[in-house]
Amino acid sequence: MTDARQEAKRNNIKLLKEANKILVLQCIMKLAPISTEEILKHTGLSRPTVINLLKELTDEEIVTKAGFSESSGGRSAALLALNGEKHFALGIDFEFPAVRMAIANMKGDIRAQESVVYPQGIGKEDLLPDLLRRIDRFIGESGIDPALLDGAGVGISGVIDSINGISMNIERIHGWHNVALKSELEKQLTALQEKLQSGAFTPAQPAKKAAKPASEPKQEAPKPAAPVVMTPTGKTDADAWKEAMNILKRSDPGTFAMLTMGKYAGCDGDPYRWQAPMGQELYVGLMNQEKKRTAIASALTQASGMQCRFEAIGAVKEKKADQSDESFLAALETTFGKANTMGQEDVKG
């Protein structure tokens, strides 16, 4: 047999092994927890092949034991499942102006997620470095060890060169032409791995969830006719809000862009309130994060000349004339969640 034929045979054997490995892995993904006997039945592969592949997958910490099957008189069979703690992937949905990021394990469980809305007028020179910084920070704050990230996937609109990983054009972003997004992301992740190996980077530990209060706090509805508040600088509260927005537009364009999605809801002395758009209650949680609240309050303090606080609130759904209080409250809870819904006594009247 010639060298070329031997090489071709080795390649065919390697490809066949990889195909069988993927087949076994897909079987476990769909049917876990599953026994070795069931894998043999569903894949049609020989016992030695399955045993060897399972050993490889276990050594690679892709597959792990997941207890034992119920015994019918004989010895219980060991069950296998995907290891949800050793392999992760980063996903980026680049749907400008919104960009969403998530880290999921092999089971598809999302372990961390974050989103940002960029201003419409932002150009490539500002957007790309900011996005890479956000990705770096997102991974660092996720609590996931970067060494466990097996890869990253990007979903992006516009014309792309999928082979070379180049985003060729996005008309909505000024200057976005032939951006080597794949190589930029690879450099970012490689740099993160190097920081990890040198000890210059330590993944953040996931924050412990606070104990749920005995009773859900009621969300205060905005006053429809809030009085005008005059600030020490002689501005009305509405003018101070506009000036604070201009400050944020320059200093924190991401936060500014998110605020433009909703509307100013007035100030009866303290705090300044911002109302999320109907059906977008996710923004309430995002804007009430301590870092964003502090940034917005700082801009308001600068604009008004007095110490200010900021609070994001949800949109108030209007009640139909022929709708009962009970059905209206149920509709609110369905839309916004029970924790974000006003009590029935706030709905009446």
The whole-number average pLDDT for the span 60-73 is 85
pLDDT of residue 74: 73
**pLDDT tens across 238-297, in order?**
888 899 999 988 888 777 877 887 888 888 667 888 888 776 666 777 788 888 889 999
pLDDT of residue 47: 94
Question: At residue 104, does pLDDT exceed 90?
Answer: yes
Residues 6 or more apart in contact with residue 49 via CB below 8 angstroms: 20
Average pLDDT, the chain: 79
d(CA 71, CA 35): 13
- Burial pattern 274-313, b for ≥16 Cβ within 10 A else e, equals bbbeeeebebbebbeeeebbebbbbbbbebbeeebebbbb
Its pTM stands at 0.53
Work out the angle at residue 111's Cα, subtended by the Cα atoms of residues 108 and 114, and round it to the nearest 5 degrees.
Answer: 110
Sheet holding 263-264, edge to edge: 263-264, 272-275, 310-313
Sheet holding 98-105, edge to edge: 110-117, 98-105, 88-95, 149-156
Is the model more confident about 227 or about 77?
A: 77
Residues 6 or more apart in contact with residue 222 via CB below 8 angstroms: 265, 266, 273, 275, 313, 316
Q: Strand 310-313 and strand 272-275: pairing?
A: parallel
pLDDT of residue 331: 53
Is the model more confident about 39 or about 212?
A: 39
pLDDT of residue 200: 58
d(CA 10, CA 288): 59
Place of tokens 């005059």: 230
**pLDDT tens across 123-170, in order?**
999 999 999 999 989 998 998 888 888 888 999 988 889 888 899 999
pLDDT of residue 346: 44
pLDDT of residue 208: 47
The winner for highest mean pLDDT among 10-19, 46-55, 189-198, 243-252 is 46-55
**pLDDT tens across 181-227, in order?**
999 988 888 887 787 667 655 555 554 444 444 444 444 444 344 44
Nearest to 315 by CA among 271, 277, 287, 273: 277
Is the model more confident about 95 or about 317?
A: 95
The whole-number average pLDDT for the span 88-92 is 93
Question: At residue 19, does pLDDT exceed 80?
Answer: yes
Question: At residue 63, does pLDDT exceed 90?
Answer: yes
Question: At residue 320, does pLDDT exceed 60?
Answer: no
d(CA 81, CA 57): 11
pLDDT of residue 108: 87
Nearest to 319 by CA among 293, 349, 297, 292: 349
DSSP designation for 341: S
pLDDT of residue 38: 94
Which amino acid, residue 7?
E
C-alpha distances in angstroms, 6 versus 10, 13, 16?
6, 11, 15
